[in-house]
Structure 1
Amino acid sequence: MNWDQQLLLFLVSLVANAFSALAGGGAGLIQLPALIFLGLPFSVALATHKVASVALGAGATLRHWRERTLDYRFSLFILASGLPGVVLGASIILAVPDRSAEIALGLLTVSLGLYSYLQPDLGTTERLQHRNPRGYLIGAAVLMVIGVLNGSLTSGTGLFVTLWLVYWFGLDYKRAVAHTLILVGLFWNASGAMTLGILGEIRWDWLPALLLGSLLGGYIGAHYAIVKGNRLIKRTFEIVTLLVGVKLILG
């Protein structure tokens, strides 16, 4: 790639990941189509995007770590629930084109944004709930399904995790986004990237600009999420979910 293309990749990655870090997901809405537009086949673009998205988690971790917003036992629960699904989803996506699933996921993603919008107080304050065996079992089952989607589809699944943590477990948006960015962005995406790297192909020469943009964008977005609080995160979440959903529906 020439320097102009590297600069374009950096700027696209910076903007996409800043919004993703603020909303709790959705970086692929901008970043993945940009990679395809610049000439990568879908499978190569997906694997390359997954690797770059790990830097989003790293950048967000650098900022959120100072705030001590993570519940470590709960974090282990999220990892254990979602990682098997991520590996499974990444293992099947290269062999199974599934346009109908993308449309269904897009409709569901739009509904998430609309639901959050119609619930003005959702996620604005923390009300911990379902911290019992039945609640954890249902929570783990849904997280594993989201993990499959995370490994197999391109964007929006971090938004699912964010809203699920808010709706089912009662986290506020700030804490939910922190858990999503660190656990999904760093660990789930790393697992998906490794699986896709083994089974597919990664364009390593495209990664320096993508990684730098993801790292800085993740840090910037996480910073504004911490400084501005739940109301801004909630509104950004709703906007990004609608955009991601429409993108998945239209293809």
Structure 2
Amino acid sequence: METQVLILLCIAAFAAGFIDAVVGGGGLIQTPAGLILLPGHMVSTVIGTLKIPAFSGTAFAAAQYLKKVTMDWKLLGIMAVCAFVSAFAGSTLLTYVSNDFMKPLLLVILLLLAIYTFTKKNFGQHTAKQYSRKKSIVLAIGISLLVGFYDGFIGPGTGSFLVLGCIALLGFDFLHASANAKMVNLATNFGSICLFSLKGKIIWAIALPMAASNALGGWIGAKIAIKKGNGFIRIFFLIVVIGTLIRFAYDVFYTT
């Protein structure tokens, strides 16, 4: 592989790590870059390879959040286990069928999400909803299973959907939602990595340099997000959702 191609992939990985650390959605940059710059490889191989830098960046970002944000470890543990199993299942299904049929549905969901977040100025600005412990666990399991499967099966925007679920259903603010999303996203990435490793779908010579770049981006992004707080994360959330919306709109209307 040409050196300039690897450099471009590492630049994309750094940008993806930064965005993912703030509010998720780094796959919006990293996944298209990988598919464009590695046209000679199977899609499943490219996606499998990109899971390594995704995991690396998320891990470094999560480490920064854990230093500053209080976590509910029992609830988080349940979410992580569910997300791992669900992502493994989603990646398994991906090796057999196409995921293109879901893009029109995601387009509508993302449009509604962008409108809601923009119009509701207090969305994710403070901790809300106080559910019973049992109901919180049920909701957390639901979020983890759905988003975990989505990450294994499709991928881009997973972090954003996790943040949304933590805010809308569990009542977290943006900062706590981002912190929890990073930890759950680690589990989804690891579930997919296990599957792709078993299938021999990871190109380590590409994955490792990208992992270092993504980790650096994640480390910097998390530090800035923690320092700037909820307002900054909300703006980034909107930008990433709109960017993902444009990406899926392009896929739906121009590549089908």
Supply the AA of the counterpart residue of 2:121: P
> Is the Cα contact below 8 Å between 2:51 and 2:189 reproduced in 1?
yes
Separation in 1 of the partners of 2:173 and 2:142? 21
- Summarize deviations over 1:151-192 as a string: whole Å, max 9, x none: 1112112211111101111110001101111221x2220111
**Further displaced range: 158-167 or 67-76:** 67-76
Separation in 2 of the partners of 1:128 and 1:21? 25
> Is the Cα contact below 8 Å between 1:102 and 1:153 reproduced in 2?
no
- Summarize deviations over 1:4-31 as a string: whole Å, max 9, x none: 22221211111121012112x1111111
In structure 2, do the counterparts of structure 1 residues 131 and 79 end up closer, same or farther at CA, with 3 Å as the change threshold?
Answer: farther
> Is the Cα contact below 8 Å between 1:59 and 1:219 reproduced in 2?
yes
In structure 2, do the counterparts of structure 1 residues 228 and 200 end up closer, same or farther at CA, with 3 Å as the change threshold?
Answer: same
Partner of 1:67: 68
- Summarize deviations over 1:24-73 as a string: whole Å, max 9, x none: x1111111111111123311111111122000111102312221432212
Separation in 2 of the partners of 1:59 and 1:16? 13
**Further displaced range: 186-195 or 98-107:** 98-107
Separation in 2 of the partners of 1:163 and 1:62? 21
In structure 2, do the counterparts of structure 1 residues 64 and 132 end up closer, same or farther at CA, with 3 Å as the change threshold?
Answer: closer
**Further displaced range: 76-85 or 147-156:** 76-85
Separation in 2 of the partners of 1:227 and 1:73? 26
Partner of 1:209: 209
- What does 1:105-116 correspond to in 2, within 5 Å? 105-116=106-117
Aligned CA-pair RMSD: 1.6
Separation in 2 of the partners of 1:221 and 1:128? 28
Structure 2: which 5+ residue stretches go unaligned?
252-256
> Is the Cα contact below 8 Å between 2:17 and 2:58 reproduced in 1?
no
- What does 1:1-251 correspond to in 2, within 5 Å? 1-23=1-23, 25-39=24-38, 40-184=41-185, 186-251=186-251
Separation in 2 of the partners of 1:68 and 1:135? 19
> Is the Cα contact below 8 Å between 2:66 and 2:179 reproduced in 1?
no
Separation in 2 of the partners of 1:228 and 1:249? 31
Supply the AA of the counterpart residue of 2:60: G
Runs of 4+, deviation exceeding 3 Å: none
* Number of aligned residues: 249
- Summarize deviations over 1:68-89 as a string: whole Å, max 9, x none: 4322122112113322211110
Q: TM-score scaled to structure 1, two decimals? A: 0.93
Which secondary structure does the structure 1 equivalent of 2:201 belong to?
A: coil
Deviation at 1:145, TM superposition (A): 1.3
> Is the Cα contact below 8 Å between 2:86 and 2:149 reproduced in 1?
yes
Structure 1: which 5+ residue stretches go unaligned?
none
**Further displaced range: 112-121 or 163-172:** 112-121
